[in-house]
Amino acid sequence: MTSTDTFTAPQPQSATTVLVPQPQHTPAVWSTIVGQRPTVELLSRTAATTAAIAQSWLICGPAGSGRSNVARAFAAALECPNHGCGECSTCRHILAGTHPDVTVLATDKVTIGIDEVRGIIEKSEQMPSTTPWRIIIIEDVDRMLERTTNVLLKEIEEPAAHTIWLLCAPSAQDVLPTIRSRTRVVNLAIPSDRAVAEFLMTSVNPTLPDDKRFTEHVAARAARLAEGHIGIARLYATNERVMTDRDTLVVGVLNLTKASDAVLLADHLISDAKAQAEAEIDAQTAREQADFRRVNGLGEKDRIPPKIRGAYNAIGKKEDVRRRVTRRSRDVLDRGLNSIASVYRDVAVLQNDAEGSVGIVNKENRTAIAELASRLSRQPAIERLEYVAEARRRLAGNGNPLLVFEALFCALIVS
């Protein structure tokens, strides 16, 4: 069963859901979802009802809103005998990514390959082993090329009777209309700064070693600078280098006065993005290799047996690592574009005397931003936001990152 009904977080009521009984409390499996209470209540009711359920869902939300976490929690609520108690083995295994009936297709490359989709389709045809449903979660479905999406289309249109598809994307417009029209859409809200800060203090901070824990001030600042992106807020709070790189970028943008400044700032940003990406992928590869050794009963310095050496070497395969670094570098650059845009967003806020109602993101740089707001009229400030959007489009079109940012920074110079 599929539906084109759209569920939107701020307005959860719809003709297909008002008859579902309201649970006495929200099941524990949803406890880690930040700032999505209307959606959580909606999906919790859906999982608790015995009525027919849509088998193809599209969970949409801006980067960092927690759409993949929502998909996992929804999967647990659907499979759990208690509709998401968070304590049974079914919930624990699904949330840990180890349940045999729930498969997650994610990628740290630029695109999701067609062979990966064909493999996941084969798995979707298999009967579930221990639970009512076989659930397939595809993160970042917008990263599929059109020919790959077409392979997925038939399964979404006519899913196996025992299979539920949960697709995740930034927005419904980021996927093909043929996919969008055959799924039930759930739109997530952007979490508030307060909700993100509370999450950092209650869920992230206690899990860190004593020497790595952060203060409430750091959590609040990280949430503000992340602008509702939970993953970036966690990164800012726990990685001082990333926070410093952001501060350097914002100061650099505010001090652009000539073309040489633009060229140097672009080179610095690209170098930082590559270094961050390489460090993250190296750490991730090391963790995967350590997990491989542990699963196969090998010590840190034990020799890899010939029978499994190929699988071990595939973890750090040079070509695969290069693709992952490219993807991660683009993520860092996209984060940089958000930081740049926040400067001109703050300029517009000051120009429209709206700081009291919406606040500014870059409070630490308020003096410099106020000076820039006095030098720019309103139209040039808006144009600079359009320049940032154009840079994002060029990067998405595989434009040379260094040239894209040199052009952007030159355009941002105030004469």
- In the chain, where are the structural domains located? 28-187, 193-238, 259-283+322-412
Structure tokens at 126: 């298999």
Q: The whole model's pTM is what?
A: 0.73
In tens digits, the chain (415 residues) has pLDDT values of 444 444 444 333 332 332 333 344 567 888 878 888 888 888 888 888 756 788 999 999 877 788 889 999 999 999 998 888 888 999 999 988 899 999 998 876 667 888 888 999 999 999 999 999 999 999 888 888 888 888 888 888 888 889 999 999 988 888 888 888 889 999 988 888 998 999 999 989 998 998 889 999 999 999 999 998 888 999 999 999 899 999 999 999 999 999 999 999 999 999 999 988 888 888 888 888 888 888 888 888 888 998 888 888 888 787 777 888 888 888 899 999 999 999 999 999 999 999 999 999 999 999 999 999 999 999 999 999 999 999 999 998 889 999 999 999 999 998 7
Looking at 3.40.630.30, 3.40.50.300, 3.20.20.70, 3.30.70.360, the CATH number of the domain 28-187 comes to 3.40.50.300
